Amino acid sequence: QVQLVESGGGSVQPEESLRLSCEVSGLNLDFQVIGWFRQVPGKDRERVACISVSDGYTEYVSSVEGRFSINRDRNKKNLVYLQMNLLKPEDTGIYYCATTSGIFIGTQHCRHNMAYWGKGTRVSVSS
């Protein structure tokens, strides 16, 4: 059974940082595409960052480019992080991680092929 558990959310002030973690069990991530998404009430879910694990390519929504970074833990292969720096109030939301299941190469798969989702972790940025 595949499970994803997010952690690391919290309440911070603008320009502070958070690191979100996504722990995946029941699935080898070597050929998966992992994505971080966020949801704000009243708005569509937004794809924030994606990583194609096998080739290391990453992709970000323009609003977080240069501030956020997605990576897989080099030692703990079932962990994927989202490092969020210089946080802004508009980054507030519930953050979910998701993964493909199978053999997927390329961040384009983040758009349509997410098979499993976590339950989310809340991020609040305000002064």
pLDDT value at position 99?
97
* CA 77 remoteness from chain centre: 15
Q: For residue 65, what are the CA distances in angstroms to 27, 58, 62, 102?
A: 29, 11, 5, 28
What does the alpha-carbon distance between residue 55 and residue 52 come to, in Å, rounded to a whole number?
A: 6
pLDDT value at position 76?
94
Predicted confidence band at 61 (pLDDT cuts at 50, 70, 90)? very high
- Answer yes or no: is pLDDT of 116 > 90: yes
Count of alpha carbons within 13 Å of 76, Cβ hemisphere only? 9
pLDDT value at position 41?
85
Sequence-separated contacts (24+) of 56-63 with Cβ below 8 Å: 57/106, 57/107, 58/107, 59/107, 59/110, 63/90
What does the alpha-carbon distance between residue 95 and residue 36 come to, in Å, rounded to a whole number?
A: 7
Give the tens place of pLDDT for each residue, 21-44: 999 999 999 999 999 999 998 899
Q: What's the rounded mean pLDDT across residues 4-30?
A: 98
pLDDT value at position 115?
96
